[in-house]
Structure 1
Amino acid sequence: MKRIITVVLFSLIISSCSDSKKNAIQLEKIKSLETKIDSLNQLVESSKSTMGQIATFLTFQKDNAEQAMNFYMDLFDNSKIINLKRWEKGSPGKEGKIMHATFKLNDKLFMCSDSPAIHAWGFTPAVSNFIECKDENQIKKLFTKLSENGKVMMPLGNYGFSQNFGFVEDQFGVSWQLNLE
């Protein structure tokens, strides 16, 4: 569809304009339209890829959603930001902070925001992220990084149900269970 629009617009411009300056201006407009179409196509594809999925939503109340998101993305492979919207000037949230972000950690869907309202609740260890680690190096690395400036609730060890298991609350208050069978 994009090509059809571009060809039609280009044909109209060529046939109706003989002035090279007008052609250059029209070509710039076409390129601008192509860029906008590409952006819209990416947004549609992004919506399709997350439609119907169940996502973990993290509500941050200390304006640190972006810091947390970037911290997690550095820890996990196959991670990327899918969509990011920021609070604008005059909105309920602090300008520039995250209104809503959609991202993937190791291909699992997450969302987060910096809540302008301070709630009577926060994160709880009763709901945690469970990671089945692939090897000893991965579980040690994740345990070390996630517990840094956080809280160790169960140190790495054999608890009978697993050869190596650990439970931590990270520096942002989010809980993680790490397991190695």
Structure 2
Amino acid sequence: MQKISPFLWFDNNAEEAMNFYLSVFKNSKVIRVAYNSPGAPGPEGVLLVATIELEGQQITLMNGGPGHPLTDALSLMVNCVSQGEVDYYWDGLLAGGGKEIACGWLKDRFGLYWQVTPVMLPELLGGPDKAKAGRVMQAMMKMVKLDIGALKAAADAK
């Protein structure tokens, strides 16, 4: 068990969100689920809380009712090693009504924010060459979905 893991509050569609995330992430599984019992605050038999694992990261989802919507103050980052992975997760997480934001960020149909990010991006933005980092940042700021080839081209430009 992880010492620290995300806990996400949904109004009433945590089970739908859980099934969606399990379908997008190939390396995923259900860890445990609990459904409302008689006398619980929600409808009997409806998912109360579930813990799932997506690519090794445990996440707990709860149907808590209205009043605490997800915001962009919290996002989950998907680290991608190739443009194919960026494309796969970008398209998968947008499926069914998600919304593109900017700079590799998107909001899925449940209101959860994601960053679909190439693993090489921090390397391109860091290091001693400030001009290179600036070119990469300027290129990224013009993108919605991140393009690894264009980021590398910006890094290599003189």
| TM-score, length basis structure 1 | 0.61
Map of 1:80 onto structure 2:
29
Q: Which amino acid aligns with 1:152?
A: E
Letter matched to residue 118 of structure 1? P
Name the counterpart of 1:109. Answer: 58
Shift of 1:90: 3.0
Q: Give secondary structure in 2 for the equivalent of 1:137.
A: helix
Instruction: Name 2:8's counterpart in structure 1.
Output: 58
Do structure 1's residue 128 and structure 2's residue 78 form an aligned pair? Answer: no
Gaps of 5+ in 2: 121-158
Task: Indicate the SS of the match to 1:173.
Answer: coil
Equivalent position of 1:166 in the other structure? 104
- Residue 86 of structure 1 deviates from its aligned partner by 0.2
CA drift of 1:77 comes to 2.8
Q: What letter is aligned with 1:113? A: M
Residue 177 of structure 1: aligned partner? 115
Return structure 1 stretches of 4+ with deviation > 4 angstroms.
none
Which structure has more relative contact order (CA 8 Å, sep 6+)? It is: 2
SS at match of 1:103: strand
Q: How far apart, CA to CA, are the structure 1 residues paired with 2:47 and 2:40?
A: 12
CA distance in structure 1 between the aligned counterparts of 2:52 and 2:101, rounded to whole angstroms: 27
Separation (CA, whole Å) in 2 of partners of 1:64 and 1:86: 13
Q: CA deviation at 1:78?
A: 2.3
1:152 corresponds, among 94, 100, 103, to: 100
Alpha-carbon distance in 2 for matches of 1:97, 1:134: 38
Task: Report the identity percentage.
Answer: 32
In 2: Cα distance, 1:153 partner to 1:54 partner: 27
One-letter identity of the residue aligned with 2:48: M
Alignment: residue pair count: 118
